[in-house]
Structure 1
Amino acid sequence: MGLVGTQSKQRVPRAVRERQMLDAAVATFAKRGYRAASMDEIAVAAGVSKPLVYLYLHSKDELYSACVRREAEALQAAVRAAVEPGAPADRQLWSGLLAFFEHTAAHPDGWAILYSQARTVGEPFAEEVAAMRAEIAEFVRALIGAAAADAHCDPVLADREVAGLAHALVGAAESLAGWGAAHSGRENAATLMNFAWSGLANLMRGGRWEPSAR
């Protein structure tokens, strides 16, 4: 009896409680939006009292920021972990894109917060998402730059255009993740590789688009 009583009174570790609260908050914010979601319903979904949510995460703003940071870090980690060091640049990009689409499909609530909501709610949440996006774009820029160097491409491309190409590719991936949510991650990654890498390969061989003559 004493052992049972002791076990029932054991406190849930803080890290576990915070994870439960963040899980509940991500699901609630994704469904209801930042402004409509209430701390009461988040507490109920997490199975804790509202005062405990405030004790751990202080305010609705801080709770939302914590959700944004967690989902952004998880997405970045998934992409980086999937890329094979030393592999050809196209293989690295393919692995990163596949991980991106598989992660966003597996975590639709987290992706809704990052893509659909945080950027429209305003600062400071939009700034945190922008920082995540910039880090991923820099990662892609490095891959494209390495491919350009391997292809002995015109150095003007590496200096002036690679960053723009990286941001365009990241934007296309973000858009496709929302539009192509019903398709598999492999289908979406292949679509983007066919769209982007084929054009990049042609560009690195010196082939540049020019407007057609009238």
Structure 2
Amino acid sequence: MDDVTEPAPRSRRKRMTGKERREQLLTIGRTLFAERGLDGTSVEEIASAAGVSKPVVYEHFGGKEGLYAVVVDREFERLLSLVAEALNSAIHYRSKLEKAALGLLEYIEESPDGFRILVRDSHGGTGTGSYASLLSEIAGEVEHILAQEFKRHGYDDKAAPMYAQSLVGMVALTGQWWLDVRKPGREEVAAHIVNLAWNGLSGLEPRPYLDPKRRRKELERMEKQREKAQAKAEKAEAKAGRAEEKAAAKAEKAQRKARRDDDDTEDGPSDLDPADLDATDRDATDLDAADLDAAEHETGEPAEPESGDESETETVRDPAEAATR
């Protein structure tokens, strides 16, 4: 009798708990919804990707709409908590803006599928869980901050909701654009957002207007201020240039003096000043003449000098003696 080969036992997969199955369906649904949207995704595709039958999907969520709603709510709460934490953790208003922008971009970078679901086709209009309601929630947080800042600077705090919507809309649209391009980097994008938003908020006019005449006068006033500031800067620059030239001339003068001092040191110092030498010669001449006069007075004969040339000695001898010689 031939040996009969028995079939190998089937490998049994570990049966998931209800919680684990629910999380699996949420993860799969999140990926499919991000790729195809709600309308482009079917229950059959979700069940097939999870390796279960359609009734399992209905059992947990009642259909793809229920699954989609849970996915949207999760992403909604996650992003809202990130932005709210950023707005409430910083003290300075610029830091609040920086952290909020970075929080949004970080979420987009780490959860692109979640953000794509939120911005593309989240259903429900302005109801809870929609992207519009998410932005409205964030704008409410920003509105509260702006209202306090407006009061502190004497602006009309009734305009805070409008500015909050504008600010949040700008950041959100920038995030949607960056979701696909991903260039430049996260921190650089955040820096540009803050640059525009913060400088815009810092330069708010207490009572903005669109009247052409008033606007023209305002522009003329601003132009005069700019020209005045430019003239002041040019004057300061010219003054600095003159000071630099003066310092250079002073340094050159000091160098010339130092070179002259060095030359005098190499030649050696003179013991007597030329004026002192002239005075000494005059004193010696006067002294010799006085001595000769005194000797002649005592002897009655012309006095001979103690030293000198032979010709000078002969001039004082007797003329007869000179003739005899």
- Per-residue Cα deviation, 1:102-147 (whole angstroms, up to 9, x for no partner): 10222111111111111xxx5x265231322211111111222233
Q: Percent identity?
A: 30
Hey, what's the Cα distance between the residues in 2 that align with 1:185 and 1:166? 22
Matching residue within 161, 164, 167 for 2:162: 164
- Runs of at least 5 residues in structure 2 that lack an aligned partner in the other structure: 1-11, 218-325
Q: How does 1:91-106 map to 2 (within 5 A)?
A: 91-106=95-110
CA shift for structure 1 position 83: 3.9
Over 3 Å counting, the alpha-carbon distance change for 1:209 and 1:101 in structure 2 is farther
- Per-residue Cα deviation, 1:75-111 (whole angstroms, up to 9, x for no partner): 1122223345351122112111110111022211111
Greater radius of gyration (CA)? 2
Equivalent position amino acid for 2:99 in 1: S
CA shift for structure 1 position 155: 4.2
Query: Is the CA contact (8 Å cut-off) linking 1:30 and 1:112 kept in structure 2?
Result: yes
SS in 2 for 1:203: coil
Matching residue within 172, 194, 216 for 1:174: 172
Over 3 Å counting, the alpha-carbon distance change for 1:201 and 1:102 in structure 2 is same
Please report the TM-score for the alignment, with normalisation by the length of structure 1: 0.81
Over 3 Å counting, the alpha-carbon distance change for 1:163 and 1:41 in structure 2 is same
Calculate the aligned-residue CA RMSD, in Å. 2.5
Equivalent position amino acid for 1:67 in 2: V
Q: How does 1:117-156 map to 2 (within 5 A)?
A: 117-118=121-122, 122=123, 124=124, 127=127, 128-129=129-130, 130-149=132-151, 152-156=152-156
Q: Do residues 32 (structure 1) and 30 (structure 2) align?
A: no
Match of 1:192 in 2: 193
Query: Is the CA contact (8 Å cut-off) linking 2:84 and 2:138 kept in structure 1?
Result: no
Match of 2:277 in 1: none
Hey, what's the Cα distance between the residues in 1 that align with 2:125 and 2:24? 21
Match of 1:4 in 2: none
Please report the TM-score for the alignment, with normalisation by the length of structure 2: 0.55
CA shift for structure 1 position 67: 1.5
CA shift for structure 1 position 11: 4.6
- Runs of at least 5 residues in structure 1 that lack an aligned partner in the other structure: 1-7
After superposing on structure 2, the runs of 4+ consecutive aligned residues of structure 1 that deviate more than 4 Å are: 8-11, 206-212
